[in-house]
Chains A and B, each alone.
Chain A
Amino acid sequence: EVQLVESGGGLVKPGGSLRLSCAASGFTFSSYSMNWVRQAPGKGLEWVSSITSSSSYRYYADSVKGRFTISRDNAKNSLYLQMTSLRAEDTAVYFCGRAMYGSGDYWGQGTLVTVSS
Chain B
Amino acid sequence: DIVMTQTPLSSPVTLGQPASISCRSSQSLVHSDGNTYLSWLQQRPGQPPRLLIYKISNRFSGVPDRFSGSGAGTDFTLKISRVEAEDVGVYYCMQGTQFPYTFGQGTKLEIK
Q: A residues near B, CB below 8 A? A: 35, 37, 44-47, 50, 59-62, 95, 97, 100-110
Contact = CB atoms under 8 A, between A and B. Distances in A.
A109 B48 contact: yes
Nearest to B54: A101
Contacts of A100: 54
A102 B100 CA distance: 11
Interface of B: 31, 35, 37-39, 41, 43, 48-51, 54-55, 58, 60, 90, 92, 94-97, 99-106
Contacts of B51: 101, 103-106
Nearest to A6: B48
Given A101-B96, A102-B95, A107 B48 contact: yes
Which 3 pairs, one residue from A and one from B, show the smallest C-beta to C-beta distance? A102-B96, A102-B37, A103-B39
